[in-house]
């Protein structure tokens, strides 16, 4: 279940954690234009926060046809989680400073791997700063943790599952509207969207850096047909920001799965149909060659 924590409550948790092991804070700063957030972390972070790298720890290097951020193997993720100092039974708090996009990926991977108490810092680092709470600088290298991770607990969509879903449920594209319409494509080899997919961009779920309230989120999801009992999944450019939509859906009491290959996999797979424009079904061509 999606959980938020306020800066004040996190500050209280950290102050009460005398041994420094019951609470583990993870700094997951990641942006498309600055994927490596380590320098930002070293400059200033929440006390005790461990830097988590999106490219090497929350994903693995794969072939282009797997997408840009394939899910990490269980053993690799467990090794990383222990390196971050996560112990069995610990409360884990994740944050970033860009609409909880990186934090949501960490939240999704850890909760689906059996970590019971994972929370996203409401408002991220900007809210922590605005509250006037303490920051520290320099790298953080904790003693290794002893957490054990399970295999991912829910089925994720394959590329064929994503192709079939619009006929039976809702496939949600959470990229910016101009990328969905195929007007621009700054990263992947083909512009457009998966035929039948609806569009509800990542920014719709947020009020600045904070998630909107549950009623507002339910109403937003309802506009694209994501409702209780409806089979639904989200995709984005590379499977990272789709996790933010899953978190928002859970706040709204809804179920949403992930297609981790996302547009980066689809657009690198020859023969896949491509739709452009503002409607879900305007098929305009196919992917003709891998990148």
DSSP string, 112-123: HTT-S-EEEETT
Q: How many CA atoms lie within 13 A of 220 on its CB side?
A: 24
> Which residue in the list 28, 217, 236, 274 is annotated as catalytic?
236
Main-chain phi, psi angles of 220, to 5 degrees: -60, -50
The tokens describing 208, both together, are 């600045």
Determine whether 236 is an active site residue.
Answer: yes
User: What's CA 188's distance to the chain center, in Å?
Assistant: 18
User: What's CA 133's distance to the chain center, in Å?
Assistant: 26
Report whether 36 contacts 56 (CB < 8 A): no
CA distance 238 to 157: 13
The tokens describing 211, both together, are 């998630």
The tokens describing 6, both together, are 């306020």
**Residues 6 or more apart whose Cβ sits within 8 Å of residue 245:** 172, 174, 200, 202, 205, 234, 236, 256
CA distance 246 to 244: 5
Pairing mode, if any, of strands 206-207 and 210-211? antiparallel
**Residues 6 or more apart whose Cβ sits within 8 Å of residue 207:** none
The set of catalytic residues is 236
């Amino acid at each position: 279940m999606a959980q938020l924590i306020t800066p004040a409550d996190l500050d209280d948790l950290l102050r009460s954690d005398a041994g420094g092991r019951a609470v583990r804070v993870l700094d997951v700063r990641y942006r498309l234009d600055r994927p490596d957030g380590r320098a930002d972390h070293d400059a200033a972070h929440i006390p005790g926060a461990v830097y988590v790298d999106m490219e090497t720890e929350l994903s693995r290097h794969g072939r282009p046809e797997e997408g840009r951020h394939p899910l990490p193997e269980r053993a690799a993720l467990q090794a990383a989680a222990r390196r971050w100092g996560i112990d069995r039974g610990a409360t884990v708090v994740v944050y970033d400073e860009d609409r909880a996009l990186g934090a949501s990926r960490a939240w999704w991977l850890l909760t689906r791997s059996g970590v019971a108490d994972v929370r996203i810092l409401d408002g991220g680092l900007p809210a922590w700063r605005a509250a006037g709470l303490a920051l520290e600088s320099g790298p953080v290298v904790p003693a290794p943790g002893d957490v054990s991770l399970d295999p991912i607990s829910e089925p994720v969509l394959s590329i064929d599952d994503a192709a079939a879903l619009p006929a039976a449920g809702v496939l949600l594209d959470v990229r910016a509207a101009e990328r969905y319409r195929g007007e621009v494509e700054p990263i992947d080899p083909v512009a457009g969207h998966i035929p039948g997919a609806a569009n509800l961009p990542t920014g719709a779920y947020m009020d600045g850096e904070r998630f909107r309230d549950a009623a507002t989120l339910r109403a937003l999801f309802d506009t694209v047909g994501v409702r209780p009992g409806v089979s639904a999944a989200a995709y984005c450019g590379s499977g990272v920001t789709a996790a933010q939509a899953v978190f928002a859906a859970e706040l709204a009491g809804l179920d949403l799965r992930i297609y981790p290959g996302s547009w980066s996999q689809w657009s690198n797979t020859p023969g896949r149909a491509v739709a452009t424009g503002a409607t879900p079904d305007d098929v305009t061509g196919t992917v003709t060659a891998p990148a």
